[in-house]
Structure 1
């Protein structure tokens, strides 16, 4: 029996632009006003959109009134606001709640909510890892020059999604060698020692280490770890699965030889949001959202992905997606900053690997 779900979101870098998704006149207010208001006022979470899949209403998008930088710089207050959003989800009658973007980060991937018995919690990272892995393999097949000997760099490798994606790539030897980038060395060295038994692996704490990678997978939650044009090899491919993004459209303007693909986007053709949107067109969702929908539509009860997902959980989401394949739940066709891209194998190391629809 299916159940209903909620998915938590928050304003990202451009506060007015994101709040206008709730109510368009909100886009007229300057960002500094929002910055002060969101930081100082005890604003309550709100249901900003209804979720419909297959013509049925299946849940709610719940807005946490706290911006991305607020969540990163004041995680204690941010965590409290996320907890209140989960209360809101339960009050709406939801059986499971998914933690979107930085609402997962400030709750340690949902660990701070583990004690809840009235509602199931998932951080969405198991299916996100599955989708990013699927996207990476497609890019290695269709867009990377050195497809038979690819060097893959994972930025944010010790994070909840990053560790799972790294283990997936190593398990099936999808990469010839791996470079793992993270800020701290303890977990990074342990992860490298583990996957290094399957694939040659190096580690680094600086973005500079991706400079000769064929494919760079961005999975860091840090708003300060921005990938710049100086970091990339000629003809590199970037899979950016971060929210807020760690790339900008100016990157491809300055480096037209580079392909940047939007990561973690899932095709659910019948998906419709009413009353607001999360920055994607109808029929598409982020993978963390899709995981929550999978759980609800499959009748799952209780918590699912908390903290770092195991590969068993990743494989479970793939089985659930296969069971609901009539509704979609597969990696969306590739886009770059929302615009369709058409992949083809690059001919030379310095030639672009894409065509972008205008």
Structure 2
């Protein structure tokens, strides 16, 4: 059985969907209440591959909210993710994806050092971040959407914002080796990591946002937006392909300019309807078939019976691993979202 650990985008969002999920007592509660709310299994899932294979899974709502990342509530954020992982393991789920901020909290706060959660000793091989499949899907979105818009990558400049992150660095490796991109612009806050990535790739220009974005034919955004940063007035090329790999996805609304085509990055469409209700509350256009690529990774691992933390640790994603999960993705009927 596969599992998905997820969360809602804000306190307001959480309150609005609590009643839909059968928890009316949560619907009017404030952040203090949500900080104490335990994780819940709120959905059972059936997925059918185009091969005919059928698998079962469960969705674990962690009750984590991004507002908990404030300094005063960080301990609540940590507790939420660890408790959700413990619940998944106790529920005999073989492989579980850490969706949204779950994997970021795990990495940034070194939760691998918190293996004991009450009476449960976490077995980390049961969990995957899903970042390998997410990076693969984003790269395929770049390639396929660029072709759709008439952007020739072999003559184009691609800017990767968040280049030193787990997904960002994997995207850079793929674009360097597989996509025949002419120029790579590397954007991130940590200059030392940027220089290390540049040295690893053997190319790539390190630039700031305001200098890089106007030069890019394609912008891949896989970073969190720093507080107080306004990019709405930065002029972009025409045409420009914008892949928004952040969460929640709101970059397109900030960069509304003529001939700028925003695509929700890291989203896949399945060839067959998925029997679940959870995607209806995260505003997917086609909730029966569209989902986050990180969630799809745990489904693929279940289809293949690869019970291992396929994506784990910071900057460990290789092009070979992306190709491996990509072949599985195609085999079972998943494809990159390409609707603007």
Superposed pair shares fold, TM > 0.5 = yes
Instruction: Please state if 1:35 is matched with 2:35.
Output: no
Q: What is aligned with 2:263?
A: 261
Q: What is aligned with 1:67?
A: 65
Instruction: Please state if 1:242 is matched with 2:239.
Output: no
- Structure 1 residues without counterparts, runs of 5 or longer: 337-358
Q: Which residue, 6, 10, 16 being the options, matches 1:9? A: 6
Q: For each residue in 1:139-167, what CA deviation from the matched residue of structure 2 results, as whole angstroms up to 9, or x when unmatched?
A: 22222545441110000111110000000
Q: CA deviation at 1:42?
A: 1.6
Q: Secondary structure at the match of 1:103?
A: helix
Q: For each residue in 1:87-134, what CA deviation from the matched residue of structure 2 results, as whole angstroms up to 9, or x when unmatched?
A: 111222211110101101010189634863376110000011110010
Q: Secondary structure at the match of 2:215?
A: coil
Q: Which has the higher helix share?
A: 2
Aligned partners of 1:94 and 1:119 also within 8 Å: no
Aligned partners of 2:55 and 2:303 also within 8 Å: no
Aligned partners of 2:46 and 2:275 also within 8 Å: yes
CA RMSD of aligned residues (A): 2.8
Q: Which residue, 203, 206, 210 being the options, matches 1:203? A: 206
- 1:292, 1:190 → 2: CA distance? 30
Cα gap change, 1:226 to 1:66, in 2 (>3 Å): farther
- 1:296, 1:17 → 2: CA distance? 30
Aligned partners of 2:15 and 2:26 also within 8 Å: no
Instruction: Please state if 1:330 is matched with 2:314.
Output: no
Q: For each residue in 1:186-244, what CA deviation from the matched residue of structure 2 results, as whole angstroms up to 9, or x when unmatched?
A: 1111101221x2xx411134455222211100101346386733224132220001112
- 1:139, 1:189 → 2: CA distance? 29
- 2:307, 2:151 → 1: CA distance? 44
Q: What is aligned with 2:297?
A: 291
Q: Which residue, 233, 240, 243 being the options, matches 2:236? A: 233
Q: For each residue in 1:2-49, what CA deviation from the matched residue of structure 2 results, as whole angstroms up to 9, or x when unmatched?
A: xx1111111214x3334534433869957xx533433xx421011122
Q: What is aligned with 1:124?
A: 130
Aligned partners of 1:16 and 1:34 also within 8 Å: no
Q: Which residue, 212, 215, 229 being the options, matches 2:218? A: 215
- Structure 2 residues without counterparts, runs of 5 or longer: 116-121
Q: What is aligned with 1:347?
A: none
The 5 A counterparts of 1:1-358 are 4-13=1-10, 15-24=11-20, 34-38=30-34, 41-54=35-48, 58-71=56-69, 73=71, 74-108=73-107, 112-113=111-112, 116-117=122-123, 120-145=126-151, 147-195=153-201, 197=202, 200-206=203-209, 208-222=211-225, 224=227, 228-235=231-238, 236-249=240-253, 251-252=255-256, 255-268=257-270, 269-274=272-277, 277=280, 278-280=282-284, 281-307=287-313, 308=315, 309-324=317-332, 328-332=333-337, 334-336=338-340
Q: Structure 1 length as normaliser, TM-score?
A: 0.80
How many residue pairs get matched?
Answer: 319
Aligned partners of 1:110 and 1:123 also within 8 Å: no
